[in-house]
Amino acid sequence: MSLVEVKNVSYGKGRKQIVNDVNFQLEPGKIVALLGENGSGKTTIIRLLAGLALRWQGTITIAQEKVGTKTKAFVALLADINDFPSDFSIEQVVAFYETMYADFDLGKARQLLTFMELGEEEQLKNLSRGNREKLALLLTLSRKAQVYLLDEPLSGIDLLSREKIIQSLVRWFDEESLLVITTHQLSEIENLVDQVLILKEGTIALHADLESVREEEGIGLEELYRQTMLGERR
């Protein structure tokens, strides 16, 4: 049974249509790469699934509930730590999340702190961009959500931080949940993702099982993306 269903969804701002008649279904136990060029609608899809966009057309359901206030309780969007005071420590941020979310697992958060090599006493103002992204992911994965939405968690950070983030996704992904990730770092998520959704000019150009593509066509994620974007797919 599908965990996420998107039917005939369109969304725009003013006269600009961002996504148009989008349809897809996603099952639990999958890590899905949502790919496309800048401005193709990836972040809009993430916001729609998170219940943060208004005045859209169509139907979106998560766990058979229409997207809205209720579904926010079991959807975890990549944390934004920029709103916290810069002198807050990691420990204070984690404590805040524990009070804010009933599904926050403090034990898991501590395991991730150790794995990410982050010190609880470190202040936000002293964190590198890579460590800020690791903290954001830590806060997100520490929730017992059904759907995890990660919008560009690998963007603009160093290689070692990206590797840590990918390793943490492999190690702590819950097989009963669904994870959707947007990124331009295709080679680095090649062995992480199960399915790929490719957006082109606001519509779904491809929804495929990556392992099936490898077996049947002998190509990987980067070549699949290139062919789809250039219109070379049969």
Question: Is 201 strand, coil or helix?
Answer: coil
CATH code (residue 75): 3.40.50.300
Q: List C-alpha distances in Å: 170 to 31, 49, 76, 166, 179.
A: 10, 22, 17, 6, 11
pLDDT in tens, 187-210: 999 999 999 999 999 999 999 999
Question: Is 176 strand, coil or helix?
Answer: coil
Q: Tell me if 234 is assigned to some domain.
A: no
pLDDT in tens, 1-34: 899 999 999 999 888 899 999 999 999 999 999 9
Q: Give the domain extent around 164.
A: 4-229
pLDDT in tens, 109-163: 999 999 999 999 999 999 999 999 999 999 999 999 999 999 999 988 899 999 9
What distance separates the 2 farthest-apart alpha carbons in the chain? 55
pLDDT mean across residues, the chain: 94
Q: Tell me if 208 is assigned to some domain.
A: yes
Q: Tell me if 108 is assigned to some domain.
A: yes
Give the number of domains in the chain: 1
140-153 burial code (b ≥16 CB/10 A, e <16): bbbbbbbbbbbbbb
Q: Which of 164, 201, 162, 155 is nearest to 182 (CA)?
A: 155
Q: Tell me if 121 is assigned to some domain.
A: yes
Find all residues with CB under 8 Å of 160, minimum gap 6, and list them: 130
Which contacts of 214-221 are long-range, i.e. CB under 8 A and separated by 24 or more positions? 220/190, 221/33, 221/186, 221/187, 221/189, 221/190, 221/193, 221/196
Q: Which of 188, 191, 196 is nearest to 227 (CA)?
A: 196
234 pLDDT above the threshold of 80 = no
pTM, full prediction: 0.95
Q: Which of 108, 96, 99, 177 is nearest to 137 (CA)?
A: 108
Strands (DSSP E) contained in 152-215 are 178-182, 195-200, 203-209
pLDDT in tens, 33-58: 999 999 899 999 999 999 999 889 99
